Amino acid sequence: MAKQRKHCEASIARVYSEHVRATPLICSPPPISLETCCIQTKTKDKHYTDTDTVVSRCLREMVADEYNSAQVNVCLWTIHKRAQVCGIKFTSGNPLSGVRRRNEKMKRCGSVITLVRGGRSLYAWVIRFMHFDKLHVAHVSWLPVTDYPTGTPVVVRLVRDGPKPDENCIISLTDIDPTSVAILNEERCMYMMRMKGVDTMLRL
């Protein structure tokens, strides 16, 4: 009975949504893509140059962990502008101020990602995407630790001068939550709004 009710509620919600949007035909929802990788572009591929000791160290550690302590020249990593996580596309290097899209009140930044570390959601800005063989990663700059002024994960606030997470600057694409993020910028803080899902709060 519970299973039938769950299916019924989902069907009603979809029908209502499509009627409100004036969709002429009621159809099944689109399939969910699980593809997670850097996206090849028409421009010539660039390779990472060993100029940042912290980034190079993280890349070496990832290769060593994945390939049984193998040592590989970090210059073999390829740099990408774009990537997708479960079908959701991201673009590195976009301004953190965000861009307002048609019919949206909040600005959206295609370079902001969110993921869970230590039982809580964190946010970061992607500097670039990189890949080597089957490893697909993002080089990120961490944003301040999340704050929840209402005590629920519905309102997500990041105080600009707040502390930042002590995490590696290189993360796997498979760790990123598949959701775009909208941003409301204020003088002393930013408010994040996920397009899908809700944050994971650390309960003390």
What is the per-residue pLDDT for 181?
A: 92
3-state secondary structure of 62: helix
What is the per-residue pLDDT for 43?
A: 74
Residues 89 and 170 in one domain: yes
Mean pLDDT computed over 93-122: 85
Amino acid identity for residue 13 in this structure: A
CA-only gyration radius of the chain, Å: 19
What is the per-residue pLDDT for 113?
A: 96
Mean pLDDT computed over 119-131: 96
Residues 9 and 98 in one domain: no
In a domain, residue 202? The reply is no
What is the per-residue pLDDT for 203?
A: 66
Read off φ and ψ for residue 164, nearest 5 degrees: -105, 155
Residues 20 and 42 in one domain: no
Lowest mean pLDDT among 43-57, 104-118, 133-147, 160-174: 104-118
Residues 25 and 85 in one domain: no
Q: Distance between alpha carbon 66 and the CA centroid of its chain, in Å?
A: 22
What is the per-residue pLDDT for 7?
A: 45
**Selected residue with higher pLDDT from 108 and 162:** 162
Contact 183, 107 (CB under 8 A): yes
Residues 119 and 182 in one domain: yes
User: Number of structural domains, the chain?
Assistant: 2
Place of tokens 């946010």: 123
Residues 93 and 108 in one domain: yes
Separation of alpha carbons 73 and 56, rounded Å? 9
Residues 40 and 133 in one domain: yes
Mean pLDDT computed over 87-91: 93
Place of tokens 């809580």: 120
The length of the chain in residues reads: 204
Per-residue pLDDT band at 1 (split at 50, 70, 90)? very low
Residues 10 and 74 in one domain: no
3-state secondary structure of 161: coil
In a domain, residue 204? The reply is no
What is the per-residue pLDDT for 184?
A: 87
In a domain, residue 164? The reply is yes
Residues 68 and 129 in one domain: yes
Contact 106, 97 (CB under 8 A): no
Q: Give the CA angle between residues 50, 51, 56 to the nearest 5°.
A: 55
In a domain, residue 110? The reply is yes
Query: Which domain range does residue 3 map to?
Result: 1-30
Residues 99 and 123 in one domain: yes
What is the per-residue pLDDT for 140?
A: 98
In a domain, residue 168? The reply is yes
What is the per-residue pLDDT for 30?
A: 64
In a domain, residue 112? The reply is yes
| CA count, 13 A, side-chain hemisphere, 142 | 18
Q: Could you tell me the two tokens for 113?
A: 């990602």
pLDDT digits (tens, 9 = 90+) for 160-182: 999 999 999 999 999 999 999 98
Residues 119 and 167 in one domain: yes
Quickly count: other Cβ atoms within 10 Å of residue 187's Cβ.
5
pLDDT above 80: residue 187: yes
What is the per-residue pLDDT for 186?
A: 86
pLDDT digits (tens, 9 = 90+) for 22-77: 545 566 666 667 799 999 887 777 999 999 999 999 999 999 999 999 899 999 99
In a domain, residue 199? The reply is no
What is the per-residue pLDDT for 124?
A: 97
Residues 143 and 79 in one domain: yes
| Residue percentage of the chain with pLDDT more than 90 | 63
In a domain, residue 111? The reply is yes
